[in-house]
Amino acid sequence: MPFDEKDPADNSNAPNYLCSHCGQAIEETPYCMYCGAKQKGSSAPLQRAIPQSPWHGDDAESLARIPFSLEVEQKIEAKSKWMTFFAYAHYFVGVSLGIGALFGLVSEEIVIRILCLVITGIFLYEGHVLLKASHYFRLVAVTDEADQVYVAEGVKKLKSFFLLDSVFYGVILILLFFIERLSNG
């Protein structure tokens, strides 16, 4: 049976496989819902994987596509380009701060240099998460195969970005408060 056909009597969850291009777990569809790559023909064996998507079974196809207008898709794509820009800005700031910390351009004190390296890691990780979110939202705009999965993954990445960002700046404010108290007291 070709992999794009499904037995209508089968009510169990659809089996998942690994994409031959990106390695993500996918349903038996002709296109990967993560990278959009066309899967090999039905005669090519697909590797089984643990299900990752919460949408399985008979409702998977009806939940896959969100009917966005062309104007909305253009706005989503524009916002994903801005997310990409800010992700690369985070990479630039992180690498610049890391180079400054490693070569002693920030400070001669080792504690400050170590703190700068920790902040470098946070900026690099935030850039990575924001770049992944941008990728998912770009896929929402340019493909129609799995919009709900892409939106869910993009929002999940944005949530983790803003959570980490909030905690990071909260800790910075607390540290500045204590440094100010120690310097005056």
Written as tens digits, the pLDDT of the chain (185 aa) is 344 444 444 445 544 566 766 666 666 666 666 666 666 653 444 443 333 555 555 555 555 778 888 898 899 999 999 999 999 999 999 999 999 999 988 878 888 888 889 999 999 999 999 999 999 999 988 887 888 899 999 999 999 999 999 999 998 888 888 878 877 76
What does the pLDDT read at residue 29?
63
Closest CA to 145 of 37, 5, 52, 15: 37
pTM: 0.62
Distance CA 126, CA 129 (A): 5
What does the pLDDT read at residue 147?
86
Distance CA 52, CA 31 (A): 16
Written as one letter, the residue type at 95 is: V
What does the pLDDT read at residue 63?
57
CA 65 centroid distance within chain = 19
Closest CA to 54 of 80, 89, 16: 16
What does the pLDDT read at residue 179?
78
**In the chain, what are the domain boundaries?**
1-64, 70-184
> CB-based contacts of 47: which residues, under 8 Å, 6+ apart?
17, 18
